[in-house]
Structure 1
Amino acid sequence: MQQLSVGNMNMEFAKEILGWRYAAPYDFYNNELDTEALNEILDNPYYSVVNNSGELVGFFCIGQSAQVPSGSQFGTYSEEMIDIGIGMKPGLTGKGYGSTFFSFVLNHIQGENCIPIRLTVAKFNHRAIHLYEKFGFVRFMEFCNNSIEFIVMIKKDL
């Protein structure tokens, strides 16, 4: 993977992200390109991650946009932490780029903040969970939303 940089989200990248299609079981992360989804990405703290050729390789979001809404009813997000969510271009997943990509995003976020980081991941996503554990995230709690189980992981040592 080439050198990466963070940029503000724009309409072109938002449309590209909403068009991404992952193979099963990761198709859970597929979205629809509609006004509501575009507004979610463009009106909230979503950031593009591009390579040195200017090509979109992924994105991340922070804050409430990175939370699974139903998790709040379980007290999941009651402690003050930075919530993060990430997504990598489908053609790059499963090829060993996850560590480079996630490390880059973490370094960017940690460089600006000193409070613990939290993320929520679908329990079936063993690849992502393994990656997060490599970076020092530990399982904090689990909850279920519409038959999908989620794991909340935290990283306290910054």
Structure 2
Amino acid sequence: MTKAWAEEILDWNYEPPYDFYNDNNKEESMKELLEAPYFAVLNDSGNLAGFYCIGYAAQVPLGYLFGAYQEDCVDIGLGMKPELTGKGNGGSFIRFVLEQVKGSKSIRLTVADFNERAITLYERAGFKKTYMFAGEEMSFFVMEKRSL
């Protein structure tokens, strides 16, 4: 992740209901993008198409209160440039990310329960819902893809 790519990501604006993913704390988020394990995903032309993160950065802090992250898994988080979403790009995007993090551990991700588009994509990629937790404003599914 570079500062330029992080700045571009922080300027992304998703349409409702996906505006939940718009960033409202740019200073703190810039620090996280540059210091946590975040990786830019570039298209064949070298343009930013999305990002992914691994480990703690991919977990929703609220999930700790519910014991959502007790199993030993590789956590991933991902985001695609708003202009590329909803156009059939998700399959190749998730396959690329999974190829980057493959290993002997199961892979886990957390997704907002309203994001049916992403949930369908993750299920097609082999993820299964394993847990759900809720805060005051949002509920989340934890999904896992077991290692072979």
**TM-score relative to the length of structure 1:** 0.91
Counterpart of 1:124 in structure 2 is 114
Question: Which amino acid in 1 is paired with 2:142?
Answer: V
After superposition, the Cα gap between the structure-2 partners of 1:50 and 1:33, relative to the gap in structure 1 and judged at 3 Å, is farther
1:6 matched to which residue of 2?
Answer: none
CA displacement, residues 16-46 of structure 1 (integer Å, 9 cap, x when unaligned): 0011000000000000363211001100000
The answer for the alignment partner of 2:33 in structure 1 is: 41
| SS in structure 2 at match of 1:114 | coil
1:67-146 aligned within 5 A: 67-110=59-102, 113-146=103-136
Deviation at 1:107, TM superposition (A): 1.1
Task: Give the residue type in structure 1 aligned to 2:31.
Answer: N
Report SS of the residue matched to 1:118. strand
Query: Which whole-Å CA distance do the structure 1 matches of 2:21 and 2:4 have between them?
Result: 19
Provide TM-score, normalisation by structure 2.
0.97
Q: Distance in 1 between matches of 2:69 and 2:123?
A: 20
Q: Answer yes or no: is the 8 Å Cα contact 1:142–1:151 preserved in 2.
A: yes
Contact 1:48 / 1:60 at 8 angstroms: preserved in 2?
yes
> Where do 5+ consecutive residues of structure 2 fail to align?
none
In the alignment, which residue of structure 2 is the partner of 1:148? 138
Identify the residue that residue 62 of structure 1 maps to in structure 2.
54
Q: Does 1:23 align with 2:38?
A: no
- Give the Cα–Cα distance (whole angstroms) in 2 for the partners of residues 81 and 157 of structure 1: 9
Q: Percentage identity across aligned positions?
A: 51
Q: Identify unmatched segments of 5+ residues in structure 1.
A: 1-8
Quote the RMSD (CA, aligned, Å): 1.0
The structure-2 alpha-carbon separation of the partners of 1:122 and 1:130, relative to structure 1 and needing over 3 Å to count, comes to same
Task: Please tell me whether the aligned partners of residues 107 and 147 of structure 2 are also in contact (alpha carbons under 8 angstroms).
Answer: no
The answer (yes or no) to whether the contact 1:62–1:84 under 8 Å persists in 2 is yes
